[in-house]
Amino acid sequence: MMVNTEWGAFDNAREVLPTTPFDSKVDRESINPRFQAYEKFISGMYLGEITRNILLALVDAAPRPILFNGKSTERLNKHYGLDSELLSLVESAWRADAPREKDSDSDDEYAALCDFSVPLVEERIAPATLRRLNRVREIVQEHLGFAPGEVSLRDAALVQWAAALVVRRAARLSACGIAAVALQMGYVTGLGKDARAAALSAERKPFSIGIDGRWVLLIFVLVVGHRLAKLMHAWAASRPGQLVSALSWF
């Protein structure tokens, strides 16, 4: 038996979810304001629009623009002009042949690329990072309608940074919902480092969900774990593959 949790309506009062002004704008301009709050944080339908609002805020920053030298395009100005495809392409281009890294390592790299106190020039960028930035720049030019030369390396870094923020948060919040269901159904007895240690000491593999664009699902199947697997696969089928993260037991 499959049960539809309808968790998209979780926290419509916005008392728990990490709401930003960009989320509030998406909600206010949606066809159902103040409803389906959780869905608007994790669904591929909304991730592109959240990202678009972030990018426009950087374009319109005062007294000096931060992104694209203050220039926008028809697609960037259009309501829902960006969809989750762009986020997927940007993340795929950035992570292709990139070293496997911790979140802290990734944050350090973003900080260096987005440091406006020093010019971002090719000579100061590692060759592998430069290749990744150029791939992102090509995607931005093609999908946002900028002419060649209108997107700088800094612009590409900022777009990738914004896309990573949105998809990483969405993946983590999605995993929280699944972890809560697994906990409520009794498939796991706890979450966190202590629960992981207890599982390993009992010769169990940790319950884990990993999503990196190729739908890698690592599931510890208990006695009746196939039911949980079906639930997770149903969830996976309804979510875009560009959500990039792995969150469950740390």
pLDDT averaged over 10-residue windows placed end to end, the chain, 250 residues: 79 90 96 94 94 97 95 96 93 80 61 79 88 95 94 95 93 84 72 60 52 35 38 46 31
- CATH C-level class of 7-170: alpha beta
What does the pLDDT read at residue 33? 95
Which residue spans of the chain are classified as CATH 3.40.367.20? 7-170
What does the pLDDT read at residue 223? 29
What does the pLDDT read at residue 199? 57
What does the pLDDT read at residue 90? 95
**Residue owning tokens 């002419």:** 147
- Answer left, alpha or beta for residue 78, where phi above 0 means left and psi between -120 and 50 means alpha: beta
Question: How far is it, in rounded angstroms, from Cα 171 to Cα 178?
Answer: 11
Least Cα distance to 89 among 125, 127, 48 occurs for: 48
What does the pLDDT read at residue 245? 32
What does the pLDDT read at residue 120? 84
Pairing of strands 210-211, 245-246: antiparallel
Question: How far is it, in rounded angstroms, from Cα 146 to Cα 127?
Answer: 25
What does the pLDDT read at residue 115? 80
Question: How far is it, in rounded angstroms, from Cα 50 to Cα 23?
Answer: 6
What does the pLDDT read at residue 194? 61
What does the pLDDT read at residue 227? 44
